[in-house]
């Protein structure tokens, strides 16, 4: 196969994946009325476990409670976003909830609920260090949303060594 033919085939394949992924994201959005869909909750739970690995409580019940609170705060945060940001986040989560989108954008072979913390951490690191701006932006969106939503709760401030707001 000639180089030119191979490049054309690669470009055509990328276009098909983008169109198919975009259509899937429109059919299966990550947000409905500003709230996370069950698929998006699964994504954020896996991402949160990877990002907050040593920060989350160690007991199963406490960890589930912390993740539930995190998902509630992400819902509140996403509802505060302007409509165009909500639409972009919904598209990102919709793409990541598909097998093709998860593999292409995140580089994660396992589905979100069955992926280990290490696998998700490696996928996030791959996104962060990618040469593609879209993958880097996706990483930063997931990372910043998880961090902002988790550490906005006063119960997590001790972990950071933050004593809380100063009375004026």
This prediction has a pTM of 0.81
Indicate the DSSP class of residue 32: E
In a domain, residue 64? The reply is yes
Q: Is 131's pLDDT higher than 70?
A: yes
pLDDT at 9: 62
In a domain, residue 4? The reply is no
Residue 83: give the domain boundaries. Answer: 32-155
In a domain, residue 13? The reply is no
Residue tagged 């990002």 (tokens):
51
* Six token digits for residue 95: 């793409």
Mean pLDDT computed over 30-45? 94
Q: Which of 85, 69, 70 is nearest to 34 (CA)?
A: 85
In a domain, residue 143? The reply is yes
| pLDDT category of residue 129 using cuts at 50, 70 and 90 | very high
What is the number of domains present in the chain? 1
pLDDT in tens, 83-121: 999 999 999 999 999 999 999 999 999 999 999 999 999
* Six token digits for residue 161: 């060594």
Q: Cα–Cα distance between 160 and 141 in angstroms, integer?
A: 21
Radius of gyration of the chain measured on its C-alpha atoms: 18
In a domain, residue 6? The reply is no
């Amino acid at each position: 196969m000639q180089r030119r033919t191979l490049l054309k085939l690669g470009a055509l394949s990328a276009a098909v994946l983008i169109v198919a992924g975009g259509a899937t994201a429109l059919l299966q959005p990550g947000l409905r009325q500003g709230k996370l869909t069950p698929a998006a909750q699964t994504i954020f739970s896996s991402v949160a476990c990877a990002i907050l690995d040593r920060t989350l409580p160690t007991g199963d019940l406490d960890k589930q409670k912390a993740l539930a609170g995190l998902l509630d705060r992400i819902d509140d945060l996403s509802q505060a976003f302007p409509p165009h940001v909500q639409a972009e986040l919904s598209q990102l989560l919709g793409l990541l909830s598909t097998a093709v989108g998860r593999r292409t954008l995140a580089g994660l072979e396992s589905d979100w609920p069955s992926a280990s913390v290490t696998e998700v951490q490696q996928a996030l690191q791959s996104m962060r260090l990618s040469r593609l701006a879209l993958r880097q932006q996706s990483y930063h969106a997931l990372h910043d949303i998880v961090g902002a939503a988790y550490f906005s709760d006063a119960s997590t401030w001790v972990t950071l060594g933050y004593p809380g707001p100063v009375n004026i």
